[in-house]
Structure 1
Amino acid sequence: FGYARQDRRPRSARVPITAKVVANMLQAVGVQRLLTMDLHADQIQGFFDIAVDNVYAAPVLLADLDKQKYDDLLVVSPDVGGVVRARAFAKRMECDLAIIDKRRPKANVSEVMNIIGEVEGRTCVIMDDIVDTAGTLCKAAAALKEHGAKRVLSYCTHAVLSGAAVSRINDSALDELVVTDTIPLREDAKACNRIRQVSVASLLADTILRISNEESVSSLFME
């Protein structure tokens, strides 16, 4: 969903809430029902006056992670805002949760990454919905390795990978980034041996079929 990150107006900033504008545009051209995947904020569904089905890539990502048979798994939220998503993954994987608390002590002082949780000797899996410039992701991987993490992976739904993201990942402490095919990968991303793509096509197809047959969609994502 384009402009999903512009779902609110930051304090004292005079900027548009563009996610609402996109919602209005889709309805203006006659869209009657919308199927999205991993909206940046679930509240965006409230911008619409039509039915919205927001489905999750979690079943696909969890199935892939389970196949890898990693030991000492630890799910990591890259920031406080992603705790709910990371906690859900940790619950499904029956493993512990850690949180990265990013803080800037004062103006003109570099950001400090405090890690809440024990990561030493663990295989850390950073869960997020979007990887864009990969700056925060690479800093998080470095911080986890500095605190003794054995391996650092990341599972993200939407691979925007803008600017120098791929070169950043190549030069980082991140061992592997797993993304879905909601956004086509750039050529340099396809060539990167640290980036792997899994498909959500069958999940979307199953969802569309259930909607068409007036069957339950939520049952796809239940335990």
Structure 2
Amino acid sequence: MFSTDRKQPIAIFAGRSNPALATRIAAAYGCELGKIEIKDFADGEIYVHYEESIRGSDLFIIQSTHPPADHWMELLLMIDAARRASAARITAVIPYFGYARQERKDQPRVSIAAKLVANMLETAGIDRVLTMDLHASQIQGFFDVPVDHLYGSAVFIDYFQRFDLSNLVVVAPDVGGIKMARAYSRRLGAELALIDKRRPRQNVAEVMNIIGEVKGKNVLLIDDIIDTAGTLTSAAAALRRAGALEIMAACTHALLSGPAYERIENSEISTLIVTDTIPLRRPSDRIKVVSVAEHFADAINRIYTDDSVSTLFIP
């Protein structure tokens, strides 16, 4: 049970993108989710109505923004309604921050979608953002309001330490993941390796080289997002050819689009551990879920009580 003894009352509400996680976060905090009506008109237009007073409250809105894009629109409407209902402070709790993979102009005539949605959130009226494992950490700089960036490693490390981690090497599936993989290898006392890949087109990856020794080693592949699982499964196949023994993988945000399930279930990966920032489309014997609810509840409490959140930022 966290603190509630402040003059400014706390209120925790949730959109429809991930109700199970929102319920777990509220339970971990020690309260119930606020009552809100969200529905779709016949043409798909979204309607939002807070069914209880939030005037003067410290409001936390929980909404992951995985596809469809309606989840973004729903969040924006919830923020707008809360601002018009005189909430004192509005924090958008976004366990999975969608459109984060379009965070730079890497070729002519493309949008920087992550900056656009940051602008939209601020225009709607947020005062703060709480999120986890942004695909690109520089997205924090797109905001002119505070952004608290949590790491999934906080829950994964606790999970992995239950196992025998001898003879382990942590592998980054691409250059962009090397910082995350290094943090895991340091905290698990494991060696580090890197997959050198090229991406001829979107959602297609080709393994070129493995940098580091994996022969005769147990492997833990680390990534922040799995979409179609092409990168992950091709990396696992290359590691097996290079002589790796058991191959496990961990990912914070399990989008698992298109052929992802079939690829994982037919791959060299023995177990894929994911968090519940995004609800799974269906269960799988190869996929295990660990919850980030307590981690988010702790962060919400620290924000509400104006305590330091930085101790939760250790990657």
TM-score by length of 1: 0.92
Q: Is 1:10 the counterpart of 2:89 in the alignment?
A: no
Contact 1:113 1:140 in 2 (8 A): no
1:27 corresponds to = 122
Listed as ranges, the matches of 1:131-146 within 5 Å are 131-146=226-241
Contact 2:171 2:194 in 1 (8 A): yes
1:205 corresponds to = 297
Give unmatched runs, 5+ long, in structure 2. 1-96
1:48 corresponds to = 143
**Cα distance, 1:113 vs structure 2:** 2.7
Contact 2:175 2:194 in 1 (8 A): yes
For 2:106 and 2:314, the matched residues in 1 are separated by 34
Over the aligned positions, Cα root-mean-square deviation in angstroms equals 1.6
Listed as ranges, the matches of 1:149-188 within 5 Å are 149-187=244-282
- Equivalent AA in structure 1 for residue 120 of structure 2: M
> SS of 1:208's equivalent?
helix
The 3 A distance-change label for structure 1 pair 103 and 22 is closer
For 2:198 and 2:100, the matched residues in 1 are separated by 24
Number of equivalences: 215
For 1:27 and 1:206, the matched residues in 2 are separated by 24
Contact 1:131 1:160 in 2 (8 A): yes
For 1:78 and 1:41, the matched residues in 2 are separated by 15
Contact 2:223 2:250 in 1 (8 A): yes
> SS of 2:162's equivalent?
helix
The 3 A distance-change label for structure 1 pair 28 and 89 is same
**Greater gyration radius:** 2
1:220 corresponds to = 312
